[in-house]
Amino acid sequence: MNVVVFISGTGSNLAAIIKKQHQFGYKVCLVVSNNKKAKGLEFARNNNIPVFTFDWDKNDKHLTIVQDQINKHNCHLIVLAGFMKILPAEFVQSYKHNIINIHPSLLPKYPGLHTHQRVIDNKDKQHGATVHYVNDKLDAGTIISQVVIKVEKSADAKSLSKQLLFSEHSLLPFTMGLIVENRVEWHGDLLCFDQKTLTNPIIINE
Ligand code: GRF
Protein backbone atom coordinates (compact mmCIF):
# COMPACT_ATOMS: atom_id res chain seq x y z
CA MET A 1 0.00 0.00 0.00
CA ASN A 2 1.40 3.38 -1.03
CA VAL A 3 1.10 6.01 1.66
CA VAL A 4 1.66 9.76 1.90
CA VAL A 5 2.66 11.24 5.25
CA PHE A 6 1.81 14.84 6.16
CA ILE A 7 4.05 16.54 8.73
CA SER A 8 4.65 20.03 10.12
CA GLY A 9 7.63 19.69 12.44
CA THR A 10 10.07 17.28 14.04
CA GLY A 11 8.79 14.20 12.25
CA SER A 12 9.80 11.58 14.79
CA ASN A 13 6.64 9.64 13.92
CA LEU A 14 7.57 9.92 10.24
CA ALA A 15 11.00 8.48 11.05
CA ALA A 16 9.35 5.52 12.83
CA ILE A 17 6.94 5.01 9.92
CA ILE A 18 9.81 4.98 7.42
CA LYS A 19 11.95 2.68 9.55
CA LYS A 20 9.15 0.12 9.93
CA GLN A 21 7.74 0.17 6.40
CA HIS A 22 9.14 -3.23 5.43
CA GLN A 23 7.99 -4.79 8.69
CA PHE A 24 4.39 -3.61 8.24
CA GLY A 25 4.09 -3.84 4.46
CA TYR A 26 3.37 -0.26 3.37
CA LYS A 27 5.51 2.08 1.29
CA VAL A 28 6.00 5.78 2.01
CA CYS A 29 5.83 7.26 -1.50
CA LEU A 30 5.56 10.91 -0.62
CA VAL A 31 6.00 13.28 2.33
CA VAL A 32 4.01 16.52 2.35
CA SER A 33 4.61 19.49 4.62
CA ASN A 34 3.20 22.96 5.06
CA ASN A 35 6.56 23.89 6.58
CA LYS A 36 9.60 24.00 4.31
CA LYS A 37 11.85 23.95 7.38
CA ALA A 38 10.22 20.92 9.02
CA LYS A 39 13.05 18.90 10.55
CA GLY A 40 11.27 15.68 9.58
CA LEU A 41 11.85 16.35 5.89
CA GLU A 42 15.46 15.24 6.41
CA PHE A 43 14.32 11.69 7.18
CA ALA A 44 12.43 11.58 3.91
CA ARG A 45 15.30 13.01 1.89
CA ASN A 46 17.80 10.66 3.52
CA ASN A 47 15.59 7.77 2.43
CA ASN A 48 15.12 9.09 -1.12
CA ILE A 49 11.42 9.67 -0.57
CA PRO A 50 9.94 12.54 -2.62
CA VAL A 51 9.04 15.59 -0.59
CA PHE A 52 6.45 18.21 -1.45
CA THR A 53 6.17 21.44 0.55
CA PHE A 54 3.54 24.10 0.13
CA ASP A 55 2.40 27.35 1.72
CA TRP A 56 -0.75 26.89 3.72
CA ASP A 57 -3.42 28.89 2.06
CA LYS A 58 -6.93 29.27 3.34
CA ASN A 59 -8.38 29.41 -0.17
CA ASP A 60 -7.19 25.84 -0.72
CA LYS A 61 -5.34 26.69 -3.93
CA HIS A 62 -2.28 24.75 -2.87
CA LEU A 63 -4.27 21.73 -1.76
CA THR A 64 -5.21 21.13 -5.39
CA ILE A 65 -1.51 20.80 -6.16
CA VAL A 66 -1.11 18.49 -3.15
CA GLN A 67 -3.91 16.34 -4.57
CA ASP A 68 -2.11 16.18 -7.92
CA GLN A 69 1.00 14.97 -6.10
CA ILE A 70 -0.98 12.34 -4.19
CA ASN A 71 -2.44 11.08 -7.48
CA LYS A 72 0.92 11.17 -9.23
CA HIS A 73 2.45 8.96 -6.53
CA ASN A 74 -0.59 6.70 -6.46
CA CYS A 75 -1.08 7.00 -2.69
CA HIS A 76 -4.00 5.16 -1.12
CA LEU A 77 -3.63 6.19 2.49
CA ILE A 78 -2.96 9.65 3.93
CA VAL A 79 -1.26 9.64 7.33
CA LEU A 80 -1.25 12.84 9.38
CA ALA A 81 1.75 12.54 11.71
CA GLY A 82 2.17 15.84 13.53
CA PHE A 83 0.44 17.83 10.79
CA MET A 84 -0.65 21.00 12.57
CA LYS A 85 -3.24 22.34 10.11
CA ILE A 86 -6.91 21.50 9.81
CA LEU A 87 -7.71 20.12 6.37
CA PRO A 88 -10.82 21.58 4.75
CA ALA A 89 -13.98 19.45 4.76
CA GLU A 90 -13.98 19.02 0.95
CA PHE A 91 -10.44 17.62 1.02
CA VAL A 92 -11.34 15.20 3.82
CA GLN A 93 -14.50 14.18 2.00
CA SER A 94 -12.62 13.40 -1.20
CA TYR A 95 -10.39 10.93 0.72
CA LYS A 96 -13.20 9.61 2.91
CA HIS A 97 -12.06 6.63 5.03
CA ASN A 98 -8.51 7.03 3.75
CA ILE A 99 -7.02 9.63 6.11
CA ILE A 100 -5.72 8.73 9.56
CA ASN A 101 -4.24 10.94 12.27
CA ILE A 102 -2.25 10.35 15.45
CA HIS A 103 -3.33 12.44 18.42
CA PRO A 104 -1.51 12.58 21.77
CA SER A 105 -4.41 11.81 24.11
CA LEU A 106 -6.87 9.07 24.88
CA LEU A 107 -9.64 10.45 22.68
CA PRO A 108 -12.41 11.43 23.15
CA LYS A 109 -10.57 12.99 26.10
CA TYR A 110 -8.58 16.11 25.25
CA PRO A 111 -9.05 16.88 21.56
CA GLY A 112 -7.00 19.89 20.41
CA LEU A 113 -3.75 21.22 21.84
CA HIS A 114 -1.80 21.01 25.13
CA THR A 115 -2.94 17.48 25.90
CA HIS A 116 0.00 16.63 28.18
CA GLN A 117 -0.51 19.72 30.34
CA ARG A 118 -4.22 18.96 30.62
CA VAL A 119 -3.41 15.44 31.84
CA ILE A 120 -1.09 16.89 34.51
CA ASP A 121 -3.57 19.61 35.53
CA ASN A 122 -6.35 17.05 35.95
CA LYS A 123 -4.06 14.66 37.86
CA ASP A 124 -4.93 11.81 35.50
CA LYS A 125 -3.30 8.49 36.31
CA GLN A 126 -3.25 7.40 32.67
CA HIS A 127 -2.40 9.08 29.42
CA GLY A 128 -2.05 7.81 25.89
CA ALA A 129 -2.25 8.33 22.16
CA THR A 130 -4.96 7.57 19.63
CA VAL A 131 -4.95 6.74 15.93
CA HIS A 132 -8.25 7.67 14.32
CA TYR A 133 -9.79 8.24 10.93
CA VAL A 134 -10.17 11.90 10.06
CA ASN A 135 -13.57 13.46 9.52
CA ASP A 136 -14.59 17.10 9.25
CA LYS A 137 -14.50 17.68 13.04
CA LEU A 138 -11.29 18.19 15.00
CA ASP A 139 -9.91 14.93 16.47
CA ALA A 140 -13.40 13.42 16.33
CA GLY A 141 -13.25 10.72 13.63
CA THR A 142 -13.70 7.01 14.28
CA ILE A 143 -11.07 5.70 16.66
CA ILE A 144 -8.95 2.74 15.55
CA SER A 145 -6.32 2.16 18.20
CA GLN A 146 -4.73 3.51 21.35
CA VAL A 147 -1.66 3.07 23.47
CA VAL A 148 -1.99 3.71 27.20
CA ILE A 149 0.83 4.83 29.50
CA LYS A 150 1.01 5.35 33.26
CA VAL A 151 1.51 8.90 34.49
CA GLU A 152 4.31 8.89 37.05
CA LYS A 153 3.84 11.14 40.11
CA SER A 154 6.96 13.10 39.16
CA ALA A 155 5.84 13.68 35.55
CA ASP A 156 5.47 17.09 33.98
CA ALA A 157 4.14 17.96 30.53
CA LYS A 158 7.60 17.74 28.97
CA SER A 159 8.54 14.35 30.37
CA LEU A 160 5.08 13.01 29.61
CA SER A 161 5.29 14.16 26.01
CA LYS A 162 8.67 12.44 25.61
CA GLN A 163 7.41 9.24 27.23
CA LEU A 164 4.28 9.17 25.06
CA LEU A 165 6.12 9.94 21.82
CA PHE A 166 8.15 6.78 22.29
CA SER A 167 4.92 4.76 22.44
CA GLU A 168 3.44 6.63 19.46
CA HIS A 169 6.33 5.31 17.39
CA SER A 170 4.98 1.80 17.95
CA LEU A 171 1.28 2.63 17.73
CA LEU A 172 1.21 4.37 14.36
CA PRO A 173 3.21 1.91 12.20
CA PHE A 174 1.45 -1.04 13.85
CA THR A 175 -1.97 0.47 13.11
CA MET A 176 -0.94 1.17 9.51
CA GLY A 177 0.00 -2.52 9.28
CA LEU A 178 -3.52 -3.51 10.39
CA ILE A 179 -4.96 -1.38 7.58
CA VAL A 180 -2.52 -2.83 5.01
CA GLU A 181 -3.54 -6.36 6.00
CA ASN A 182 -7.24 -5.40 5.82
CA ARG A 183 -7.62 -6.44 9.44
CA VAL A 184 -8.98 -2.93 9.93
CA GLU A 185 -11.36 -2.03 7.11
CA TRP A 186 -14.53 -0.15 6.37
CA HIS A 187 -17.69 -2.06 5.56
CA GLY A 188 -19.78 0.85 4.28
CA ASP A 189 -19.72 3.30 7.16
CA LEU A 190 -18.89 0.69 9.80
CA LEU A 191 -15.29 0.22 10.81
CA CYS A 192 -14.42 -3.44 11.34
CA PHE A 193 -11.53 -5.26 12.96
CA ASP A 194 -11.07 -8.89 11.94
CA GLN A 195 -14.51 -8.79 10.28
CA LYS A 196 -16.32 -7.60 13.43
CA THR A 197 -17.59 -4.08 14.04
CA LEU A 198 -15.00 -2.18 16.03
CA THR A 199 -16.79 -0.98 19.14
CA ASN A 200 -13.77 -0.23 21.34
CA PRO A 201 -10.30 0.99 20.42
CA ILE A 202 -7.70 -1.67 19.70
CA ILE A 203 -5.29 -1.31 22.62
CA ILE A 204 -1.67 -1.77 21.68
CA ASN A 205 0.66 -2.82 24.47
CA GLU A 206 4.37 -2.24 24.28
C1 GRF B 1 2.95 13.84 18.16
O2 GRF B 1 2.80 13.91 19.54
C3 GRF B 1 1.61 13.57 17.51
O4 GRF B 1 0.78 12.75 18.28
C5 GRF B 1 1.01 14.95 17.39
O6 GRF B 1 2.09 15.78 17.08
C7 GRF B 1 3.31 15.20 17.56
C8 GRF B 1 4.23 15.09 16.39
O9 GRF B 1 5.52 14.71 16.74
N10 GRF B 1 -0.07 14.96 16.45
P11 GRF B 1 6.58 14.35 15.61
O12 GRF B 1 6.65 15.53 14.66
O13 GRF B 1 6.12 13.10 14.92
O14 GRF B 1 7.87 14.16 16.35
Question: 205 falls in which pLDDT band (50, 70, 90)?
Answer: confident
Q: Are 59 and 28 in contact (CB under 8 A)?
A: no
Query: Whole-angstrom distance between the N-terminal and C-terminal Cα of the chain?
Result: 25
pLDDT of residue 56: 85
pLDDT of residue 58: 64
Question: 61 falls in which pLDDT band (50, 70, 90)?
Answer: confident
Write down the catalytic residue from 73, 103, 127, 169.
Answer: 103
The CATH homologous superfamily of the domain defined by 1-95: Formyl transferase, N-terminal domain (3.40.50.170)
In angstroms, rounded to a whole number, what is the distance separating the alpha carbons of residues 171 and 180?
Answer: 14
What residue's CA is closest to ligand 1, atom 3? 82
C-beta of 102 in contact with ligand 1 (< 6 A): yes
In angstroms, rounded to a whole number, what is the distance separating the alpha carbons of residues 110 and 14?
Answer: 23
pLDDT of residue 57: 74
C-beta of 139 in contact with ligand 1 (< 6 A): no
- Residue 186: pLDDT above 90? yes
In angstroms, rounded to a whole number, what is the distance separating the alpha carbons of residues 31 and 204?
Answer: 26
Domain 102-206, what fold? Rossmann fold (3.40.50)
Of ligand 1's atoms, which has the minimum distance to the CA of residue 13?
Answer: 13
Helix (H) or strand (E) holding 21: helix 21-24
Nearest to 83 by CA among 114, 26, 38: 38
Q: Do domains 1-95 and 102-206 have the same CATH topology?
A: yes
Question: 125 falls in which pLDDT band (50, 70, 90)?
Answer: very high
C-beta of 81 in contact with ligand 1 (< 6 A): yes
Domain chopping of the chain, boundaries: 1-95, 102-206
| pTM of this prediction exceeds 0.85 | yes
In angstroms, rounded to a whole number, what is the distance separating the alpha carbons of residues 103 and 134?
Answer: 11
